[in-house]
Amino acid sequence: MRTAFVQQLVEEASHNEKVFLLVADLGFNVVEPFAQKFPNRFLNVGIAEQNMAGIAAGLAKEGFIPFMYSIGNFPTLRCMEQIRYDICYHKLNVNIVAVGGGYAYGPLGASHHTTEEIGMLRTIPNICVCAPSDPVESRKITGMAVEDASPFYIRLGKNGEPVIHTADVRLQKGTPLLLKDGKQIAVLAMGSVAMDSLDFVKRNNLSAAVYSLPIIKPMEKESLLALFKQYEKIITIEEHQASAGFGSAILECMNDLQEGKRLEKAPMVKRIAIPDTFTYIAGSSTFLKEKNHVTLKKEYFDTIT
């Protein structure tokens, strides 16, 4: 996904001289295509992510479209105050890009696990929160971020995620994207676990549908209302803490629709997420997801009660 992001950013910058890329002492062997082609619109600020957020805000005030790019938790958790006050409060066109969301940097330990930032960011007004599931979604969201004047957060994978869309994607804010049709049960996945979910459902010959929701905030209630009415059970899965994350956003939307008398009967919801714990061991992304039960199981599909 990160390669697709840089490729799309180069394309966008070729047509828009305001696109600017900031990195914080990383991106080697990834961002060179942009840096070499647009040296006057590229800046490595060093290990200074909070300063990077301030620089990005200043560039946006001067009419640029800055993308600030770093490892998952560093442009997010470390910069939350700057994101809130410098960027979102002023509704600046700053795009925060975190590579390696969830446990992608699992071997480096808890300091590099990015498992709380969705919950934090989606509570801040004015920001669009995104977690593409494959390179196609990554490209689409990058283009959208250039065109949209509001702040964006883009959580990227880094493990060579394959393309999972078999047709062109028409991406809209908060709209689910169908990966596999099915009956009764729908899996709604955020980010790179969409590929895991699709593989699991196909491998086990399950009749469930699978959707990717690459834009978590804002959510498009009309599209979700149709899903809530269509399926008897919803399974949400995310590489994020259960608190305030993707599954929470789905439940909030469902409740609001019921409260507004738009949804008469809500489907059962099974949330799969990190169970309110730090991970004190190092390991691969796959190992840590299994350790923290961020995986589908056949029993989740057996019965609907």
DSSP string, 158-171: -S-PPP--SS----
Which sequence spans correspond to the domains of the chain? 2-156, 177-301
pLDDT above 80: residue 27: no
pTM, full prediction? 0.96
Predicted confidence (pLDDT) per residue in 210-260, tens digit: 999 999 999 999 999 999 999 999 999 999 999 999 999 999 999 999 999
pLDDT in the model for residue 169: 86
The domain at 177-301 falls in which architecture? Answer: 3-Layer(aba) Sandwich (3.40)
pLDDT above 50: residue 305: no
pLDDT above 90: residue 166: no
* CATH 3.40.50.300 for the 2-156 domain, yes or no: no
Burial class (CB in 10 A: 0-12, 13-18, 19+), 184: middle
Longest dimension (CA), the chain: 59
Same fold, 2-156 and 177-301: yes
Predicted confidence (pLDDT) per residue in 131-153, tens digit: 999 999 999 999 999 999 999 99
**What is the rounded distance in angstroms from the CA atom of residue 233 to the CA atom of residue 213?**
17
Question: Can you tell me the mean pLDDT for 76-92?
Answer: 98
- Whether residue 74 contacts residue 112, with contact meaning beta carbons closer than 8 Å, is answered with no
Average of per-residue pLDDT values in the chain: 95
